[in-house]
Structure 1
Amino acid sequence: MASVPAVLTSEWTKIRSVASTTWTLACAFIITVGMGAGVSALLNATFDDLSDSERLTFDPTLISFTGTAFGQLAMIVFGVLVLGTEYSSGMIRTSLAAVPQRGTFLLSKITAAGALALLVGLLTSFITFFLGQALLGDHGTDLGAENVLRAVVGAGLYMGLIAIFSMGVAAMLRSSVLSLCILIPLFLVISNLLAAVPYAKDVIRYFPDQAGSRIMQVVPEAMGSDPSPYGPWAGLGIMLLWVAGAVLGGYAVLRTRDV
């Protein structure tokens, strides 16, 4: 019976020895920071052109995290590859031969990769925030303002949880290609399009990305957005339920099906 520390060490070795890990996490960082900085600089230059309602509900913290919508896609790729490559490469048979306890194997892999994703997410969120506020100039805020620290930490948690959710989905589908074909259109296109459709948006707001992203919002109804039936922490809680469901679903598939 393999010990949990030994399995964790093995999974960490797998993750850091694969080049795609570095590239996907670097992309998540660069895209999130870069887009956030660009939008912050643009709004600082065009602030006077905003409508009265947009200026009254201007949320400098949320503005600096604009790039998260695209940076999360790299986190999705990271999460999918961590689990999906086990199946595409055929390594899953070797891994389960070494660690027959399938729950231990899955938990260790998700723990190692999830901890790394959360660390990168938090690093990204703090750098994104400080750079964004510097570029917003007089329209920016600071970490000591009410609820700002919550939003910054929450943005990092959101990035990490997206990766863990993707790991669970990949474990259920047992295919990197299929997982990416579902998750990327879902978060990039479908979720954002339906969020603007009457009646549909009442359901979409409970999707993991829509609910979880509320944690980054400091000003209620920021930039003229629709009011939400739940607060920032409740939104993150909804996302955590999605993550737990995906991981449990992945475990159920791994436990009951032959590799």
Structure 2
Amino acid sequence: MSPARFGHALHAEWVKLRSLQSTWYTLACLFAVGLGVAAMATGRAGDEYRSASAAELLAWDPTARSLTAYLVAQLVIGVLGTLVVTSEYATGLVRTSLVVTPRRHRLLAAKVVVTTAVAVVAGQVLMFATFLLGQALLAAQDVPHAELGGPGVLSAVVGGGLYLAAIALFAIGLGTILRATAGAITTLVGVVFLVPALAGLFPAWFQGLLDFWPTQGAAAVFATVPNPAYPHPWLNLGGMCLGVAAVLGAAFVVFERRDV
């Protein structure tokens, strides 16, 4: 892959991404929804804390509480990742992109790199913002709160940003394979919410996969209080990233072999 030509492809993808109104609307929605969920999750936590049982007090995790925004944020950032690909199929621009960049792997790689950069920055900024907002609201209610220098706190916040970036890449893979926004988003919802909810219906061999599943084992990275079911959260997150890499690999193969 020629560095100069790949640089041109990167620049073209960055121009396309920042030129789409949907990009800015989605990012605005990401922060509005994320901060709103964080405020709701921590705004009335004082009453809950003062009425909690001894077991609930031991499990009190102010960091995880302020980062629960990821539950909704992952869908919003997934929409962003999906639109990077499917918006071109919807408008027919993908044909023009392939004329300008006929090497398909180069075109898709440029989309992946640009989206990764945007998703990592957006994910990290959102996680730090929701953490700081949540802890400020907890402190105002005079209940235990966390600081970035506390045990495991920075790891949880940074890990949360990486989790969101991985979801965006997963969405790119789905968008490339399915070529339709509705189909890709529906599949994303099924993966992050429906499969974990119906986990008990799957065979025993499938249960081990949940250790690396979004909103299941991989989401353990958001916590600072150890979860006996997922004692190695970064290993769980790493397993999820390997799964995302597999989906992206399939997307490259499909994109390379089909007509458009």
> Is the TM value for this pair above 0.5?
yes
Cα shift readout 1:30-51 (whole Å, capped 9, x = no counterpart):
2122111211122123212222
1:12 aligns with 2:47: no
Paired AA for residue 119 in structure 1: V
Could you tell me which amino acid in structure 1 is paired with residue 107 of structure 2? F
How many residues end up aligned between the 2 structures?
A: 253
Distance 2:66 2:201 in 1: 26
- On the 8 A contact 2:217/2:230 being kept in 1, the answer is no
Cα distance in structure 1, aligned partners of 2:214 and 2:115:
19
Task: Judge conservation of contact 1:44–1:139 (CA < 8 Å) in 2.
Answer: no
**Kept in 1: contact 2:138–2:144 (CA 8 A):** yes
Aligned to 2:160: 155
Residue 150 (structure 2) pairs with residue 145 (structure 1): yes
Q: Does 1:178 align with 2:160?
A: no
Q: 1:115 aligns to what? A: 117
- The answer as to 2:226 corresponding to 1:220 is yes
- CA distance in structure 1 between the aligned counterparts of 2:20 and 2:223, rounded to whole angstroms: 35
Q: Distance in 1 between matches of 2:255 and 2:157?
A: 35
State the shift of 1:55 in Å.
0.8
Q: CA deviation at 1:218?
A: 0.8
Aligned to 1:241: 242
2:44 aligns to what? 42
Instruction: Give 1:106 deviation, angstroms.
Output: 0.5
Mapped pair 1:81 → 2:83: yes
Shift of 1:203: 4.3
Gap regions ≥5 residues in structure 1: 222-226
Aligned AA (2:48): T
Kindly indicate whether the alpha-carbon contact (under 8 Å) linking 2:192 and 2:214 is maintained by their aligned counterparts in 1: no
Q: Which moved more, 1:227-236 or 1:137-146?
A: 227-236
List per-residue Cα deviations over 1:136-173 (Å, max 9, x = no partner): 11310100011110001111111111111100111111
Mapped partners of 2:58, 2:254: distance in 1: 49
Native 8 Å contact 1:15 1:82 kept in 2: yes
**TM-score between the two structures when normalised by the length of structure 2:** 0.91
Contact 2:127 / 2:161 at 8 angstroms: preserved in 1? yes
- The equivalent residue for 1:224 is none
CA drift of 1:210 comes to 2.0
Look up the equivalent residue of 2:249 and give its one-letter code: L
> What is the aligned partner in structure 1 of residue 256 from structure 2?
255
Deviates more, 1:139-148 or 1:174-183: 174-183
Distance, in Å, in 1 between the alignment partners of 2:201 and 2:57 is 25
Alpha-carbon distance in 2 for matches of 1:230, 1:25:
33
The one-letter code matched in structure 1 to 2:83 is: L
The amino acid that maps onto 2:238 is G
Letter in 2 for 1:45: D
- Structure 1 distance, partners of 2:191, 2:74, is 12
Sequence identity, in percent? 36
How far the C-alpha of 1:131 sits from its partner, in A, is: 0.8
Provide the C-alpha distance between the structure 1 equivalents of 2:31 and 2:200, rounded to a whole number of angstroms.
28
Q: Quick check: 1:110–1:164 contact (8 Å CA) kept in 2? A: yes
Question: Gapped runs of 5+ residues in structure 2?
Answer: none
What is the alpha-carbon root mean square deviation over aligned residues?
A: 1.9
Q: 1:193 offset after TM fit, Å?
A: 1.8
Residue identity in the other structure for 1:164: L
Asked if the contact 1:211–1:238 (Cα under 8 Å) also holds between the matched residues in 2, the reply is no
Q: Indicate the residue corresponding to 2:217 in structure 1.
A: 211
When structure 1 is superposed on structure 2, of 142-151 and 26-35 the one drifting more is: 26-35
- In 2, Cα distance between the equivalents of 1:12 and 1:19? 13
| Letter aligned with residue 241 of structure 2 | L
Secondary structure of the residue aligned to 2:217 is helix
CA distance in structure 1 between the partners assigned to 2:249 and 2:59 by the alignment: 39
Structure 2 CA distance for aligned equivalents of residues 243 and 95 of structure 1: 25
Whole-angstrom CA distance in 1 between matches of 2:137 and 2:195: 29
